[in-house]
Amino acid sequence: MADKKTVSSCDICANFAYNEETEDYECMAYLDEDEVASFLSGRICPGFRLDDEYGVVRKQN
């Protein structure tokens, strides 16, 4: 599994969702101006959450 400290790819983030109105993917995390600036400068996104659809199933077993 990927380390949260080194991964912040939007493609695997649970907050990266498809918006049917704009017909495009967008970040659904609520980030303030400082957090956005930090992410754009190459740091880890504070809103990053790994999209692990099997995580719930593992907890049930």
pLDDT in tens, 14-47: 899 999 999 999 999 999 999 888 888 888 888 8
pLDDT reading at 4 higher than 50: no
Match 């495009």 to its residue by tokens: 24
In angstroms, what CA-CA distances link 47 with 7, 23, 36, 61?
A: 12, 22, 10, 28
